Each structure stands twice: as structure tokens, then as C-alpha cells.
Amino acid sequence: MPTPLPLFIVHNAAAGHTGADACIALIRQELTAAGRTFHLLPARRPQDLPRVAQEAVRQARDAGGAVVVAGGDGSVHAAVQQVLPAGLPFGVIPVGTFNYFARAHGIPEDVAAATRALLTARVAPVQVGRINEEYFTVNAGLGVYAASLADREAFKQRLGRSRLVAFCAGLATLLRTHPAWTLQMEVDGRLRTVRAATVFIANNPLQLAQLGLAEGEAPQQGRLVAVLVPPRGPLGAIGLLLRGLAGRLGQVPEVTSFAFRELRVRPGRPYLPGRLRVGCDGETLWLRAPLRVQVAQQPLHLLQPAPVEGAPS
């Protein structure tokens, strides 16, 4: 960046468990002290994020600036739908529950440190996935995975946002019986029929490494990773969850994973024609089948922290 870009910051007031006012105060304090031009655009409700992000893109385009999101993976997801097509630089101040996107790209989870990192950040191309017309930065999936996200949101409404609440919600999902899916899949032009309870698509090396899957470097090589989880009863499903938490999911013979550039998925029964619940970056949405999953043609121009002098590359 030849000159400091003005920053247009979309703030999700409902993200994470840190007070919204405290986050805004820290961001304002750091950027004001640095003499950086910035504008705060708060989204009071999660459903306001697409509209606020669209406005931030409009202002940033007019001013030759960058769009920044202060929020979690879901907030990043909402903003990327607007920022990626516009081709604008994009920054993140993580204040969500898991912050997989920020952590995978070396962005500090501390609000003040992440804000300071924007001051010397460099623009770097970052791979984004696409499922039908929806972009995703961390993951996407259907079946039990999508059901678990819906349950997690319901738990958050009652108990607040935290990793413990998210874990309990996932456990509650697994204690229910879920039907298996018969899927016709076309993987990079090759047809196959599979049976699975969950299809999980990953674009995040950190998450892949935590699960213990061998394809952890695929996102840096221009590919996505599909994980097919077989149908299991509640106890078997909990066993798979524990294996994943221990970083040993890749050691389960029945779990299939593979890297790909393009995947087409046509589900058989059970699903409602035209309405298929899909999880994307921790949020749920409805998409039309068949699903086409691929690496997005254009990268995201991420404001990444500059490397520290003397640190190993």
C-alpha cells in the first residue's frame, strides 16, 4: 500500500462475548493515536450486516479505502459477499467465538493488537471457497453439520456466545438421530455415489490441522477439502466428535477426506426439492440443489499483519 488507506469498519455489535462499546473504544483509541483515517459503521443486529457491509463497500470504493470487519467468522462471511466482488482490500479485527479465519492468517485475537496490525498490514491474496453463489472463507457443509449450526444459534440466543455453549450445542445435536444421505458426487469430473450423514467442506488449514486430517495444506495449494462422515448412532457420533477434538479424525477408517478443485453434489432423499440447508462459516442458509462447490475465481485481498523482523518465515 503506497499510502495509508482509510478504513471503513463494519462492527458487529452482537459478536463474541466482549462488550461492543469496549471494542469500539479500543479500535477508536488505537486508530486515533496513529492518526489513521477511519469510519465506524455499526451493525446493531446480525441481520443488518449485509446492508452495512454493502454501505461500507460503497464508501470505501468512493474514497479508495479498505473495508474492515470487527466480528467473528460469521461477520466475515457476511462482509465477504460484498467485498470480494468489489475487489477491495479487506481487514479483520476478530471478536467472535472461534475466529478461525483470523487465526489462520496470523491476525491477533486481541482487539487492540489486531487494530494496530492494520496500520502496517500488507495486502495478500487469500483463497475463498464458493458454494453455488455463496462465498465462504472457513468451511461449508450439509447434514449433521448444518443441523449443529442451527442448534448452536438457538443455544446462543438463550445462553450467550462462547466456545463452551457452542460445544454443548454440538453435543445436543449428536444426541439426536439423523438420517443418512445418499449423494451423487462429481469430483473434478469423476462420478461417485456415497452415503454420509455429513459432508463438510474445509478451506481453513488451521481447522484441518486441529481435526488431524492429512490434507491440511490443500488450501495453500489452490484446493478445498471434503470430509465425508458416515451415519452413526448418538454414541458413535459422540465418539467421532471426541476423535476430532483430539486431532485424530483422520485416523477413523470410515471417515473419507479428499482435496479437490470442483465438486458437484446432488442429494437423494431426504431433502425438500429446492430447499437444502447448508452451513457456511458458522451460519446457516438455504441453497438450491444440486450444489456446486469450487475455489472462487478471484482471491480476497486480505490486509495481513506485516512479518516481524527476525521472525522465521
Say if residue 184 is in the same domain as residue 280: yes
pLDDT at 158 over 80: no
Say if residue 49 is in the same domain as residue 146: no
Q: What is the pLDDT of residue 274?
A: 64
pTM of structure:
0.88
State the average pLDDT over residues 37-57. 95
Q: Residue 101: phi, psi to the nearest 5?
A: -60, -50
pLDDT at 18 over 60: no
Separation of alpha carbons 134 and 102, rounded Å:
20
Separation of alpha carbons 211 and 92, rounded Å:
24
Domain count, the chain: 2
Cβ-based neighbour number of residue 171 at 10 Å: 15
Say if residue 189 is in the same domain as residue 73: no
Q: What is the pLDDT of residue 124?
A: 96
Share the mean pLDDT of the chain.
Answer: 87
Pick the residue with more confidence: 232 or 229? Answer: 229
Say if residue 140 is in the same domain as residue 267: yes
pLDDT tens for each residue of 217-227: 999 999 999 99
Say if residue 26 is in the same domain as residue 89: yes
Cβ-based neighbour number of residue 209 at 10 Å: 13
Q: What is the pLDDT of residue 310?
A: 52
Q: What is the pLDDT of residue 313?
A: 45
Q: What is the pLDDT of residue 262?
A: 96
pLDDT tens for each residue of 62-93: 999 999 999 999 999 999 999 999 999 999 99
pLDDT at 116 over 90: yes
Percent of the residues in the chain that have a pLDDT greater than 90, as a whole number:
61
> Which burial class, exposed, middle or buried, applies to 283 when counting CB atoms under 10 A from its CB (0-12, 13-18, 19+)?
buried
Separation of alpha carbons 155 and 120, rounded Å:
38
DSSP assignment string, 268-305: -SSSBTTBEEEEETTEEEEEPSSEEEEE-SSPEEEEEP
Separation of alpha carbons 162 and 252, rounded Å:
28
Q: How confident is the model at residue 96 (pLDDT cuts 50, 70, 90)?
A: confident
Residue 118 parent element (H or E): helix 111-119
Say if residue 186 is in the same domain as residue 253: yes
Range of the domain at 162: 134-295
Say if residue 249 is in the same domain as residue 209: yes
Percent of the residues in the chain that have a pLDDT greater than 70, as a whole number:
84
| CATH code: domain of residue 203 | 2.60.200.40
Q: What is the pLDDT of residue 234?
A: 74
Residue 243 resides in a domain: yes
